[in-house]
């Protein structure tokens, strides 16, 4: 039995990271955003589904077609998003309690039990608190953009990274791959452009960067393995493409799910409509829950890995051990 994990914004929220709605509210107050009707309109339009990533992808598409009209707005939104992640990453670099008290075990040891980590988050929480402190992890298909010398923590995970050549996209044997499906706040392409976001359906229509397209295909490959299990933490089931991959894997390959989110087994109700949904019937995500969900937890990680909640942790570990 193989098992992977998918992390959403609700995972970083346990250590102070902002959810999509909180990021939206932060960006509204940034210089260059409040003075632009275009940016504000896009942020409001995509606030329910797709978030600021889809707003950025839409603006990137407009700038390609009419750079004279939209280039300034694009620079301002990119700058605001960059400032937001710098603020989050700074706080995450200074955390002293990533293992949440060690009452019921280590978050790092828990993450280390999965065959692969998939994350929709672009912050550097994992880089600062997991990759730097856990052996045998890699970012497949990515390499350092400079010849930075190794420091006392080993690989400088929080430095700037760029995609390798497509011929070098591979997962190394005996290493745990960490796939950042929407890019990262410290990634750039080979000419210095941001790989901060390329998530959301709008970005997909415009065409993903090759590394991110490969990452999404890897996600589909992993969850489609016979007997595979997928745990999600803090994922709100708002990404249509991710939902469709999960639903297909449940229907065709028997994927089993365990969801950690405040909504628990009701999280499917958050899912936006997909092209595969039948009018008046259950959505593809609701059907996936009906057939593939074998457990859920509504409690935050601060409780699960805290001093008292041994019962909930045992329920979660049963998903990995059975």
| Lowest mean pLDDT, pick from 139-148, 240-249, 290-299 | 139-148
Q: Is residue 77 part of a domain?
A: no
Number of separate helices (H) and strands (E) present in the chain: 13, 9
| Alpha-carbon distances, residue 158 vs 148, 187, 199 (angstroms) | 11, 10, 21
Give the tens place of pLDDT for each residue, 214-243: 999 999 999 999 999 999 999 999 888 899
Q: Is residue 82 part of a domain?
A: no
| Lowest mean pLDDT, pick from 43-47, 188-192, 217-221 | 188-192
- Those residues whose C-beta lies under 8 Å from the C-beta of residue 152, and which sit 6 or more positions away, are none
CA nearest to 95, candidates 149, 133, 144: 133
- The sign of the dihedral angle between the CA atoms of 301, 303, 308, 312 is negative
- The arithmetic mean of pLDDT across residues 157-161, rounded, is 90
Q: Is residue 80 part of a domain?
A: no
Instruction: Tell which wins on pLDDT, 198 or 73.
Output: 73
pLDDT for 196 equals 57
Pull the structure tokens for residue 275.
């092209």
- The arithmetic mean of pLDDT across residues 136-160, rounded, is 77
Q: Is residue 37 part of a domain?
A: no
Q: Is residue 301 part of a domain?
A: yes
Q: Is residue 93 part of a domain?
A: no
pLDDT for 129 equals 93
Work out the pLDDT band at 279, boundaries 50, 70, 90: low
Instruction: Tell which wins on pLDDT, 61 or 70.
Output: 70
Work out the pLDDT band at 100, boundaries 50, 70, 90: confident
Q: How many domains does the chain have?
A: 1
Which residue range forms the structural domain that includes residue 225? 3-18+98-321
**Rg of the chain over all Cα atoms, to the nearest angstrom:** 19
CA nearest to 119, candidates 288, 244, 242: 242
Average pLDDT over all residues of the chain: 86
Taking the whole predicted model, whether its pTM rises above 0.85 is answered as: yes
- The sign of the dihedral angle between the CA atoms of 243, 141, 192, 128 is positive
Per-residue DSSP letter, 257 = E
CA nearest to 291, candidates 268, 271, 270: 268
Give the tens place of pLDDT for each residue, 255-273: 999 999 999 999 998 787 7
81 pLDDT exceeds 80? Answer: yes
Between CA 242 and CA 4 the distance in angstroms is 14
Between CA 90 and CA 177 the distance in angstroms is 24
What percentage of the chain exceeds 70 in pLDDT?
86
| Lowest mean pLDDT, pick from 48-62, 150-164, 212-226, 255-269 | 150-164
131 pLDDT exceeds 50? Answer: yes
Q: Is residue 36 part of a domain?
A: no
| Lowest mean pLDDT, pick from 24-38, 191-205, 286-300 | 191-205
Q: Is residue 114 part of a domain?
A: yes
- The arithmetic mean of pLDDT across residues 152-159, rounded, is 75
pLDDT for 50 equals 73
| Alpha-carbon distances, residue 289 vs 29, 106, 250, 255, 296 (angstroms) | 38, 28, 9, 10, 10
Q: Which helix (H) or strand (E) holds 129?
A: helix 125-129
């Amino acid at each position: 039995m193989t098992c992977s994990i998918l992390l959403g914004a609700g995972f970083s929220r346990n250590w102070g990271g902002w959810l999509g709605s909180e990021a939206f509210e932060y960006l509204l107050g940034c210089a260059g955003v409040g003075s632009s009707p275009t940016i504000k309109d896009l942020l409001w339009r995509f606030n329910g589904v797709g978030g600021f990533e889809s707003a950025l992808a839409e603006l990137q598409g407009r700038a390609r077609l009419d750079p004279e009209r939209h280039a300034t707005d694009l620079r301002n939104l990119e700058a605001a998003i960059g400032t937001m992640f710098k603020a989050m990453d700074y706080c995450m670099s200074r955390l002293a309690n990533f293992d949440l008290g060690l009452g019921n075990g280590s978050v790092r040891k828990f993450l280390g039990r999965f065959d692969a980590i998939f994350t929709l988050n672009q912050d550097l929480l994992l880089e600062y608190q997991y990759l730097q402190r856990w052996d045998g992890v890699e970012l497949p298909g990515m390499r350092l953009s400079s010849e930075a010398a190794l420091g006392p923590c080993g690989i400088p995970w929080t430095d700037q990274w760029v995609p390798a050549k497509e011929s070098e996209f591979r997962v190394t044997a005996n290493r745990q791959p960490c796939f950042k499906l929407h890019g990262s706040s410290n990634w750039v392409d080979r000419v210095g452009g941001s790989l901060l976001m390329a998530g959301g359906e709008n970005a997909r229509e415009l065409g993903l960067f090759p590394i991110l397209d490969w990452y999404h295909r890897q996600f589909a490959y992993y969850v489609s393995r016979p007997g595979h299990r997928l745990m999600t933490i803090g994922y709100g089931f708002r990404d249509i493409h991710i939902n469709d991959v999960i639903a297909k894997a449940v229907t065709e390959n028997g994927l089993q799910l365990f969801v950690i989110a405040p909504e628990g087994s009701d999280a499917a109700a958050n899912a936006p409509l997909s092209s595969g949904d039948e009018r008046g019937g259950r959505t593809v995500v609701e059907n996936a829950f009906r057939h593939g969900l074998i457990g859920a937890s509504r409690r935050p990680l601060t409780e699960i890995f805290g001093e008292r909640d041994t019962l909930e942790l045992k329920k979660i570990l049963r998903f990995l051990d059975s």
